[in-house]
Amino acid sequence: MNDLIADMLTRIQNAIMRKKESVDVVKTNINGEILKVLKEEKMVGEYVENGKSFEVTLLYEKNEPVITHLERVSKLGQRIYVSKKEIKPIMNGRGISIISTSKGVLSGAKAKSMDLGGELICKVW
């Protein structure tokens, strides 16, 4: 398995479809940064280190998941880069995009406010 980000997104998506309370994902630096952004945006709960993995607590409101869909945009074979002008709201502001910038991994709104572009990693809504 080469694409550990896609693996993490798929594990979270599958756990949400099964209405699990938490899910284990592979521990890497980029996965930790993505989880940090998701936590700041209140899309996942706490995530704790368990050896070689993160245990991510999933959030539900009125028995419905906060996250309904995760989409990997930039892949290993085709990197997608966006400028600050190309950063668009996801689902009319109900979702977020996650961008790897020169200042670290940020949500699309935060990157746009800091006048930064970068690699569009994924979209979450």
Q: What is the pLDDT of residues 66-104, one digit of tens each?
A: 999 999 999 999 999 999 999 999 999 999 999 999 999
Measured at the CA of 9, the angle between CA 53 and CA 33, to 5 degrees, comes to 60
83 burial via Cβ count (<10 Å: 0-12, 13-18, 19+): exposed
Share of the chain above pLDDT 70, in %: 99
Q: Do 54 and 20 fall within a single domain?
A: yes
Q: Compute CA 3 distance to the chain's CA centroid, rounded to the nearest angstrom.
A: 14
Tokens 């050896």 correspond to: 51
87 lies in the same domain as 61: no
pLDDT tens for each residue of 44-60 = 999 999 999 999 999 99
Across the chain, what does the average pLDDT equal? 97
The pLDDT value given to residue 115: 97
Q: Indicate whether 45 and 74 sit together in one domain.
A: no
Q: How far is CA 2 from the centre of its chain?
A: 18
Which of 9, 71, 16, 21 has its CA nearest to residue 45?
21
43: confidence class by pLDDT, cuts 50, 70, 90? very high
Task: Give pLDDT, residue 18.
Answer: 97
* Segments forming the whole domain that contains residue 17: 4-65
Question: Do 57 and 104 belong together in one domain?
Answer: no
What's the domain count of the chain?
2
CA separation for the pair 111, 101 (Å, rounded):
8
Question: Is 54 in the same domain as 107?
Answer: no
